[in-house]
Amino acid sequence: MLENAHFENAEQLRLAVIVGSVREGRFGPTVANWFVGQADERADMSVDVVDLVEVQLPLALPAFGTKPVPETARALEGLTPRLAAADAFVVVTPEYNHSFPASLKNVIDWHNQVWHAKPVGFVSYGGLSGGLRAVEQLRVVFAELHAVTIRATVSFHNAWSQFDNEGQPIDPAGCNGAAKSMLDQLAWWARALREARAARPYTA
C-alpha cells in the first residue's frame, strides 16, 4: 500500500510522485515505495504519492470549451489540486511496447497548466531497457506542456530481479546514488522555477 502524504510545510519543495502503471499484478508500487523512501529522507521536500490506480478518468476527453460529466469532475476535484500544488513531479513508469502506459498519457492529457514551468524527473523499470524508451518518449510529451525534464534518471533493468522479497533493492548503493543525483537536480530546478513563477507568472 503506497503511503500518501499531502504537502504540509510551505517552506519545503512539494514533490508529487506519480505511479503510472495500473496493470493487475504491477511492479510499480515496489519501485515507488523505495523511491518515496529516498525522497522522504530529504529535509527540503515533502511528498505526495499520486497512484493512478486510484484515479478514475475516462479515455474520452470532453470537447474543447465544454465541461466534463459530473463523475469525471469529481475525480478531477480530487486530483487536479494536488498536481497544481506540486513544485515538481517524479513519474514512476514501466515500459509497454517501447512506450509508457496509456493510463499515464491519459492523466497528462486531462491537464495542461499544472505542468507548466515545473520540473519532471523519471524513475523507470522494465526488462533489458530498464524502461528508458518510455522515458525518452515522455520527455517529448512534457516538453509540449512547457515542463522541464531532468537529465539524471533512475532506471531498473530486469527490475524484478533487483529487489528482495521485502521490496528493498538488493544492491542499494547504485540506485540510491542515482536517486540522490536526480533529486538534487530536481530540487535545483524546482526552487528556481518556483521563484521565477512567483516573480512573474508563466504564460504559454
Per-residue pLDDT tens over the stretch 152-166:
999 999 999 999 999
70 contacts: CB under 8 Å, gap ≥ 6: none
Domains of the chain: 13-199 (3.40.50.360)
Per-residue pLDDT band for 25 (boundaries 50, 70, 90) equals very high
Contacts of residue 40, Cβ cutoff 8 Å, sequence gap at least 6: 47
Query: 186-202: per-residue pLDDT in tens?
Result: 999 999 999 999 999 99
**By the 8 A CB rule, do 179 and 185 touch?**
no
- Give the torsion sign (CA, 35, 41, 46, 48): positive
Please give the pLDDT value at position 166: 95
On the question of pLDDT at 9 being above 70, the answer is no
Helix (H) or strand (E) run with residue 63 in it = none
pLDDT at 56: 87
Pairing relation of β-strands 88-93 and 119-125?
parallel
pLDDT over threshold 50, residue 179: yes
- Pick from 84, 12, 17: which is nearest to 49 by CA? 17
Q: How far is CA 183 from the centre of its chain?
A: 12
pLDDT level of residue 32 (50, 70, 90 thresholds): very high
